[in-house]
Amino acid sequence: MAVIFLVSLLGSVGFAADLPPKRYNCVRTGSPIRVDGKLDDAAWRKAPWTDWFIDIRGTSQPKPRFRTRVKMLWDDNFFYVAAELTEPDVWATLTGHDSVIFRDNDFEVFLNPTGDTRNYFEFEINALNTGWDLFLPRPYRQGGKADNSWEIPGLLTAISIAGTLNNPQDRDRGWNVELAFPWSAFTERSGARRPEPGAEWRVNFSRVEWRVRTVNGKYEKLPGLREDNWVWSPQGAIDMHRPEHWGFVKFVR
């Protein structure tokens, strides 16, 4: 999460990550992925799912109420990410690019190509396929400031919903996210280019989930409650901007 996320740090300092960073072997695909949110390309069957997400602070906290998992692939042009989010009430409100997406339920991607915890990238998306892309030269707690002017030319995004969006009258099964990040997007700010087989990037994924109720036929956040933060690789604190705790993604043939 971005600037507003700093407010939570005051109450989270002092936790220690109780698990080592996660690891994932990202398989190369021989054919481009059709980015439509359906996750039904044959290539995806060769990609393993990550572990289910856990609380951002680690296994000492309650298990998430809903399941989240991710797959990854790569080719000459793109880093592909597919996410499956179980959700009985799929909703979203934000439609403006570079809105503060985590004010809705969202899915987030964090990328540090060089692995040095500097010059890293963040992308957030909601169930309306509204995105927010930003760049940080270093973490907020080290004086970093988010640069929302950074954009991702050539980014491909898609959402599919197993249910109906913004309809409290039924029970949904969840929503899928499918993303294709062009390698060229990261070169100017980090110097990173398309990885060679065997290279590793520091990567993490986050899901923000708000508790809601139905008021006058519409979803409304429950007042006085904070959001849940569920992640692939635990951070040890309610702070995604600790790249030293992100997972390792190794690009393999």
Cα 197 to Cα 184: distance, rounded to the nearest angstrom? 17
pLDDT band at 6 (very low <50, low <70, confident <90, very high): very low
State residue 17's pLDDT score. 60
Cα 33 to Cα 30: distance, rounded to the nearest angstrom? 9
List the structure tokens of 98: 């570079």
Sign of CA dihedral 137, 138, 142, 147: positive
Segments in the chain forming alpha helices (H): 187-190
What is this structure's pTM?
Answer: 0.93
Report pLDDT digits (tens) over 187-237: 999 999 999 999 999 999 999 999 999 999 999 999 999 999 999 999 999
Domains of the chain: 3-9+26-252 (2.60.40.1190)
Buried/exposed 101-122: b ≥16 CB within 10 Å, e otherwise: bbbbbbbbbbbbbebebebbbb
Q: Using alpha carbons, select from 208, 207, 206, 202 the residue that is nearest to residue 246.
A: 202
List the structure tokens of 67: 């399941």
State residue 18's pLDDT score. 75
Cα dihedral 59/63/64/67 (nearest 10): 100
According to DSSP, the β-strands at 156-162 and 174-182 are antiparallel
- pLDDT exceeds 70 at position 175: yes
List the structure tokens of 247: 């997972």
Report pLDDT digits (tens) over 27-38: 999 999 999 999
**How would DSSP label each residue in 52-109?**
PPEETT-TTSPPPSS-EEEEEEE-SSEEEEEEEEE-SS------STT--GGGSSEEEE
φ and ψ at 10, to 5 degrees? -60, -35
Contact in structure between 122 and 133 (CB atoms under 8 Å): yes
Share of the chain above pLDDT 70, in %: 93
> How far is C-alpha 190 from the chain's CA centre?
20
